[in-house]
Amino acid sequence: MFDNFRIKLRALEPNDYKNSIKWRNDDEIWKMVVGPKYFVSEAYEKKWVEDTISNNSNSLTLAICVKETDEHIGYVYLNNIDWKNKNATTAKLIGEKQYWSKGFGTEVSFLILFHAFIVLGLERIESRQLLSNIGSIKSLKKCGYKQEGVLRNAIFKDGSYKDLNLMSVIREDFDKIMNELNIK
């Protein structure tokens, strides 16, 4: 069904921390993510990966890999899964910058939305991003996300409060996009 996609999602592996510790130390990456930059040791990052692997809560973290080479290039998150109301939040991080602005983010969003809607049976997915992260906003629109609003002064980052963009997609919107792309 997604044969033409260049990426795949997989469960985290214990050695994934070796990639993500580099991403955590990259200022250019931190400028694009919602949260403030914080410093972690390699041991902390390793424990985070190990804890995430064994996490059975209402969240899912998957590794993003290039199909052709199996290279681990980022993470995608499905957080705050509310099974009663059938909704969740999602986020993604492509840490390997040579894959930025080439459509990989859109592919990741399609795959996690397919999992959320088709496999898990959720109804609504929400995402928040910095207003300055234009690439992420464009990518999400391609996947059926609609603008819901702006969360004013929602986070403190780089010495000042920043607004966050709020978007969501419901199953019906995603189904329309899948039909338009002839993905069954």
Dihedral class, residue 80 (left if φ above 0, else alpha if ψ from -120 to 50, else beta): left
Give mean pLDDT, residues 99-107.
92
Give the integer Cα–Cα distance in Å for 183 and 170.
17
- The pLDDT of residue 1 is 65
Least confident of 53-57, 79-83, 111-115, 142-146: 53-57
Is residue 166 in some structural domain?
Answer: yes
Is residue 37 in some structural domain?
Answer: yes
Give the integer Cα–Cα distance in Å for 151 and 141.
18
pTM of the model: 0.92
Give the integer Cα–Cα distance in Å for 109 and 174.
11
pLDDT in tens, 7-20: 999 999 999 999 99
Percent of the chain with pLDDT over 70: 98
Is residue 64 in some structural domain?
Answer: yes
pLDDT in tens, 150-166: 999 999 988 999 999 99
Is residue 2 in some structural domain?
Answer: no
Is residue 1 in some structural domain?
Answer: no
pLDDT in tens, 34-44: 887 778 899 99
Is residue 103 in some structural domain?
Answer: yes
Give mean pLDDT, residues 142-154.
95
Give the integer Cα–Cα distance in Å for 54 and 63.
14
Give the other-Cβ count within 10 Å of 147's Cβ.
Answer: 12
Structural domain containing residue 59: 7-180
Count of structural domains within the chain: 1
- The pLDDT of residue 137 is 94
Is residue 125 in some structural domain?
Answer: yes
Give the integer Cα–Cα distance in Å for 179 and 40.
43
CATH number at residue 133: 3.40.630.30
- The pLDDT of residue 57 is 79
Is residue 130 in some structural domain?
Answer: yes
**Three-state secondary-structure class, residue 67:** coil
